[in-house]
Chains A and B, each alone.
Chain A
Amino acid sequence: MATRVGRTGRRLSVRFLLISLASLVVTLLQAPAGADSVDPAAEARAFRDYFLHKFPNVKPDDFVNGPYALNEDMRRQWEEKEQFPPYEFSLENGKELFARPFANGKHYADCFADQGIAIRQNYPQFDAASGKVVTLELALNQCREANGEKAISYTGEDMAALTAYMAYTSRGMPFDIKIPNDPRAIEAYENGKRYFYTRRGQLNFSCATCHVQNPGEHLRAEVLAPALGILNAMPIYRSEWGGMGTTSRRFISCNSQVRGVPLPPQSDEYRDLEYYLSYVSNGLPISGPGSRP
Chain B
Amino acid sequence: MRRLSKVSLGILGLLAILSTKSAAFAAGPEADFKTAYAAAEAAEKQAGVLRNQWLPTETALADARKAAEKSDFDRAVAAAKEAEALAKASIFQANSEKEAWKNLEIR
Contacts and interface: CB of A to CB of B under 8 A. Distances in A.
Given A194-B101, A206-B101, A201 B55 contact: yes
A239 interface: no
| Size category, B interface | 20 to 34
A212 B104 contact: yes
B97 A199 contact: yes
Interface of A: 43, 46-47, 50, 193-194, 197-202, 204, 206, 208-209, 212-213, 256, 259-261, 263, 269
B104 A206 contact: yes
B62 to A, nearest CB: 12
Nearest to B54: A202
A269 B51 contact: yes
A48 to B, nearest CB: 9
A198 B56 contact: no
A260 B53 contact: yes
Main secondary structure of the interface of A (DSSP, over half): mixed
B104 A209 contact: yes
B104 A46 contact: no
Contact of B54 (A201, A206, A213, A263): A201
Contacts of B94: 200
A193 B104 contact: no
Contacts of B105: 193, 197, 208
Interface string B24-61: 00000000000000000000000000011111111000
Contacts of B3: none
B72 to A, nearest CB: 25
A-B pairs with lowest CB-CB distance, top 7? A261-B53, A197-B101, A198-B101, A259-B55, A197-B104, A50-B106, A198-B97
B56 A259 contact: yes
Contacts of A202: 54-56, 86, 89-90
B102 A259 contact: no
